[in-house]
Chains A and B, each alone.
Chain A
Amino acid sequence: EAQVTQNPRYLITVTGKKLTVTCSQNMNHEYMSWYRQDPGLGLRQIYYSMNVEVTDKGDVPEGYKVSRKEKRNFPLILESPSPNQTSLYFCASSLLAGVSYNEQFFGPGTRLTVL
């Protein structure tokens, strides 16, 4: 089954404790992206990657890091989480050719709470 998986689905942590949210897709997609969803703000792009070892900032990259060492995986790293990073996070993937008009496939989301 074609899918995007994220782990963990729920996470409660404390300020400053490094964490990683994993994302994996089995569709051989070149393009992967991380979004955060906050009430009243919709989805905002954090980082995206157009292929292995190619990543770039989205609209709200501060406080986040990513890496793309393998085509299928795109982990999101919070080196020193703060309460304002409490949010619902989504990973998505799509074919690279025509990212702006191709369907994005979304993971189930990770709800992060930073105390």
Chain B
Amino acid sequence: AQSVTQPDIHITVSEGASLELRCNYSYGATPYLFWYVQSPGQGLQLLLKYFSGDTLVQGIKGFEAEFKRSQSSFNLRKPSVHWSDAAEYFCAVGGGGYQKVTFGTGTKLQVIP
């Protein structure tokens, strides 16, 4: 069975600082990996996804993520955080038997001035 772990429940960063959100997955084959963002009061929006090829994936809003097979990780990064990035971020893995996507528990990002 596939699973996703997001070890950080809350993260606080200063505006302009760099950001890294951690995601570890468990899946037997090559996974499909996603990062979604949920702004307050809204549904989830796809930031980026990885299927194969280049392990560094660029997404919307200046985010990127790096797939590291040896560490079973897919961490999300942004070099300089803006106040509007305050939201909850979900990592997800796909590829299960009935084409299932499994979401992590989320990391809530707070941005301070």
Which chain A residues have a beta carbon within 8 Å of chain B's beta carbons? 4, 35, 40-45, 56, 90, 92, 98-101, 103-104, 106-109
Assembled-state Cα–Cα distance A56/B100 (Å): 12
Q: Which 3 A-B pairs have the closest CB atoms?
A: A100-B94, A106-B43, A99-B99
With A56-B98, A101-B32 already in contact, the answer to whether A42 and B105 are too (CB < 8 A) is yes
Contacts A41-B105, A99-B94 known; list 5 others, CB within 8 Å.
Answer: A98-B99, A99-B100, A100-B32, A101-B51, A109-B41
In the complex, are the beta carbons of B106 and A90 less than 8 A apart?
Answer: no
Rounded to whole angstroms, the CA-CA distance of A101 and B53 in the bound complex is: 14
Closest CB-CB distance, B72 to chain A, in whole Å? 17
Q: Given A41-B105, A42-B106, A100-B100: A109 and B51 within 8 A (CB)?
A: no
When distances are taken between beta carbons in the complex, the residues of chain B under 8 Å from A99 are 94, 99-101
Encoded as 1 (CB less than 8 Å from any A CB) or 0, chain B from 21 to 44 comes to 000000000001010100001111
* Nearest CB of chain A from residue B23's CB, rounded to whole Å: 12
In the assembled complex, 5 residue pairs joining A and B whose CB atoms fall closer than 8 Å, in A order, are: A41-B105, A43-B103, A92-B44, A107-B43, A108-B42
Q: CA of A99 to CA of B45 in the docked complex: distance in angstroms?
A: 16
User: Interface centre among B45, B94, B99, by most A CB within 10 Å?
Assistant: B99
Contacts of B99 in A (CB 8 A): 98-100
Query: Which of B32, B41, B90 sits near A43, CB closer than 8 Å?
Result: B90
Q: Which A residues are CB-close (under 8 A) to B100?
A: 45, 99-100
Q: Which of B75-109 contact A (CB under 8 A)?
A: 90, 94-96, 98-101, 103-106
B13 CB, nearest partner CB in chain A, Å: 21
Give, as a whole number of angstroms, the nearest-CB distance from B9 to chain A: 7
Contact partner of A42 (CB less than 8 A), chosen from B32, B41, B90, is: B90
Cα of A40 to Cα of B32 in the assembled complex, Å: 23
Q: Is the CB of A104 within 8 A of B105?
A: no
